[in-house]
């Protein structure tokens, strides 16, 4: 019986190791894709900035860049708040499931 237990544990370990390796490989591929996308976005952003620089004055271009930075900050903050609200909702739901004895 002890040998069976060891074999089962070894099988479980190898299975988990394979799953973790597959997850690592997938994440690595996703990271490479994200880097490639970021490079493309940066390149296109530079092209757009040059075009705007030609059609807008320096002051208007600076205003536009400031607007975009503010917009990005607001989008990130909204995402953080949404995630925090979701976490609170999950915690409330978990607390409601807990049966608290009356005192």
Same domain, 76 and 47: no
Residues 2 and 48 in one domain: yes
Q: Is there a single domain that holds both residue 51 and residue 1?
A: yes
Total domains in the fold of the chain: 2
Mean pLDDT taken over the chain: 88
Full domain range(s) for residue 21: 1-55
Q: Is 64 exposed, middle or buried (0-12, 13-18, 19+ CB in 10 A)?
A: middle
pLDDT of residue 40: 97
The answer to whether residues 56 and 64 touch, using CB atoms and an 8 Å cutoff, is yes
Widest Cα–Cα separation across the chain: 81
pLDDT of residue 98: 80
Report, as an integer, the average pLDDT of 39-51.
92
Instruction: Kindly state whether residues 11 and 48 are assigned to the same domain.
Output: yes
pTM value is 0.55
pLDDT bin (cut points 50, 70, 90) of residue 101 is low
Residue 6 lies in a domain: yes
For range 14-32, the mean pLDDT: 89
* Residue 60, both tokens: 């208007």
Residues 38 and 78 in one domain: no
Burial of 49 (0-12, 13-18, 19+ CB in 10 A): middle
Q: What was the pLDDT predicted at 6? A: 77
Asked whether residue 11 falls in the same domain as residue 22, the answer is yes
Q: How far apart are CA 100 and CA 90, in angstroms?
A: 18
**Residues 43 and 64 grouped into a single domain:** no
């Amino acid at each position: 019986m002890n040998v069976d237990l060891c074999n089962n544990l070894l099988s479980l370990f190898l299975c988990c190791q394979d799953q973790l390796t597959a997850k690592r490989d997938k994440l690595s591929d996703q990271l490479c894709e994200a880097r490639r996308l970021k490079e493309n976005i940066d390149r296109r952003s530079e092209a757009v900035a040059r075009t705007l620089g030609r059609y807008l004055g320096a002051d208007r271009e600076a205003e536009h860049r400031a607007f975009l930075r503010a917009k990005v900050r607001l989008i990130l903050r909204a995402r953080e708040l949404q995630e925090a609200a979701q976490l609170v909702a999950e915690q409330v739901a978990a607390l409601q499931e807990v049966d608290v004895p009356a005192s």
